[in-house]
Amino acid sequence: MGSFKFLTPGGDPRPVTRVNEARGETSHNVPYFLPDGRHFLYLLRSGKPEVAGVYVGQLDAPDAPASGEDPERLLATSIKAEYAAGHVLYLRGRTLLAQPFDAATLKLGGEPIPVADPVGFGGASGRAAYSVAANGTLVFGLGGREISKRLRWFDRSGKPLEELGPLAVYIDPQLAPDGRRVAVERIDSQTDTGDLWLLETGRDVAARFTFNPGSDNSGVWSPDGQQIIFRSNRSSPGGLYRKASSGVAAEEPFLQSPKNTNKSPLDWSADGRYLVYGQDAAGGLDLWVLPLEGTGTSMKPGKPFAFLQSNFNEDHAQFSPDGRWLAYTSNESGRYEVYVQSFPQAGGKYQVSTGGGIAPRWRRDGRELYYIASDAKLMAVAMRGESTLEAGLLSAGAALFQTNIHEAGGYVTTDKQQYDVTADGQRFLINTPVEGAASAPLTVVTNFTATLKK
């Protein structure tokens, strides 16, 4: 979300906030009205820690942030805030705090007091697993993002095999081309930021790969496994950075976002010539391709070109091993399905899934394409054809086995994958929620202010 708009009954929407890109603002999120119905709290997202936080907006002053005088930050945080019973509630780490707030003067007062711990949070969206009513009733819980996960191997029948790495909040596992390492985002529960970690598949060793205070994620391996390109918000909301996978050299900017446009790398072609990435646009998420010039550390980005632009979300793009096709997810039909389209010229489009699907992955020889169905089953489609593309189901329903990837059923577009497959298609590494954690209960407090007097 860029800025907020206000809609009066029978009227046209009008902006009530405007993102100031020159100041490093990237979005305004999670509004919460104050009692007067004119002022509201909102979360300002930025790659600059000194800018990001919770601010107070008002319906009749949308130009205030752009008037030359920077708005006054109420709270330095990357998570939403809410108001009730004379207090602003917000998270510090996983502790929910309540701090006195004068809704007339819009000023904080007193010291923050712990109300609940632990409370989950929603990552890049800035949301959190709590809500409070005007009468002081509070509900909170662990939250989906905070569910610890285990990277676990499965065979083609769905039989669980060995586990990889410690319990953590993982996102987006990406196997190296030789299968010996995995790049994965790991969330720090205290700061709500992600870093890339490298896990070795042959032994239980995990090493942190990025160390910047910002969020580093969406790591994509080069075909020779020597480099990783990833997304970071350290200097822009979604610039691309490159680092040697050995970790011996510092990362370097690779493709920046001059217009504060979020970019997330998705895949690197097997011949090393192209990088496909998702880019935010007014109509949704578009697919762009970055030609790569040179090899190794001397490789440089060429001129990006749009591959798919529409009023829908295109995501999860993956090159076929021969580089002639691009598999991706789109919601153009009204729900997310998996498609395959010819590359580098878009055309020859084929819909692979039929009942909903996300997250395509190719087998190394290109003879199978996998995806996650809307009921979280892992599907496999046999790919045939040379000049044309045909698809045949492996078996009735094309289902290999039922996964517990909890994002699949109520999927909201994201560039994150939750599984990967070995080169021969015999084993699948799946980001698996710990059994029982997904059903963590909610806690209800009928009058949270009473706890503040204890």
Kind plus residue range of the DSSP H or E element containing 233: none
Same domain, 292 and 308: yes
Same domain, 335 and 211: yes
CB atoms within 10 A of CB 149: 23
Residues 6+ apart with CB under 8 A from 248: none
d(CA 72, CA 362): 49
d(CA 274, CA 267): 9
Count how many domains the chain has: 2
Written as six digits, the tokens of 173 are 């596992």
What sign does the CA torsion over 350, 355, 357, 363 have? negative
Same domain, 100 and 161: no
CB atoms within 10 A of CB 396: 6
Same domain, 135 and 243: no
Determine contact, residues 205/221, Cβ cutoff 8 Å: no
Distance between first and last Cα of the chain: 40
d(CA 91, CA 78): 9
Report the pLDDT value the prediction gives residue 167, as an integer from 0 to 100. Answer: 86
Same domain, 44 and 122: yes
DSSP labels for 111-178? --EEEESS--B-GGG--BSEEE-TTS-EEE---STTS-EEEEEEETT--EEEEEEEEE-EEEEEE-TT
Secondary structure of residue 296 in the 3-state scheme: helix
Where would I find the beta strands (DSSP E) of 222-352? 227-232, 239-244, 252-255, 263-268, 274-281, 284-293, 300-301, 305-308, 314-319, 325-330, 337-342, 350-351
pTM: 0.72
Range of the domain at 169: 149-433
Same domain, 56 and 194: no
Same domain, 181 and 139: no
Same domain, 161 and 281: yes
Tell me the sheet residues that pair with 15.
5
CATH (domain of 371): 2.120.10.30
Determine contact, residues 196/243, Cβ cutoff 8 Å: no
CB atoms within 10 A of CB 418: 24
Residue 403, judged by CB atoms within 10 A of its CB (0-12, 13-18, 19+), counts as buried
Same domain, 184 and 105: no
Same domain, 244 and 380: yes
Query: What does the pLDDT profile of the chain (454 residues) look like in tens digits?
Result: 455 555 556 566 778 888 887 887 878 889 999 999 999 999 998 767 788 899 999 987 655 444 456 788 999 888 899 999 999 999 887 789 999 999 999 999 988 999 988 787 765 567 788 999 999 999 998 765 555 678 999 999 999 999 999 888 888 999 999 999 999 999 876 666 789 999 999 888 899 999 988 789 999 999 999 999 999 887 666 789 999 999 988 899 999 866 557 789 999 999 999 999 998 776 678 999 999 998 887 899 999 999 999 888 899 999 999 999 999 999 888 888 999 999 998 877 889 998 888 999 999 999 899 999 988 899 999 887 654 565 554 433 479 999 988 654 444 445 578 999 999 999 999 998 776 554 567 899 999 998 886 5
Same domain, 140 and 153: no
Same domain, 118 and 172: no
